Amino acid sequence: MDENMPARIDSKFRYVLLASGRAEQLMRGARSKIEVASGKSTTVAMREVTEDRVDWGYGPAPSLQEELVIPEAVEPPAEEEEVH
């Protein structure tokens, strides 16, 4: 594992996803969670993730009780016969 990533981030792929998502938030006007005089949003976001300042999670585990609902098939309309 890269020494720049917090231990709870399990892959470089997830690190990139977190940093890019955070950079987008910063570009849209979110406040930085670190003290910076100035800097690109991507650099700030990467530092925030590296310093473990960005909260993230996998979300709640899916419930086994939930069932997949499949909509009923819709029959196409019958073609009208041509009148000669």
Q: For each of the chain's 84 residues, which pLDDT tens digit applies?
A: 456 677 888 889 999 999 999 999 999 998 888 888 778 999 999 999 988 888 887 667 666 655 666 667 677 677 766 666
Cα separation values, 8 from 4, 58, 80, Å: 12, 12, 63
Among 28, 53, 56, which residue's Cα sits nearest to residue 41? Answer: 28
Alpha-carbon gap, residue 42 to 83, rounded angstroms? 67
Name the residue with tokens 């003290």: 35
pLDDT score for 28: 94
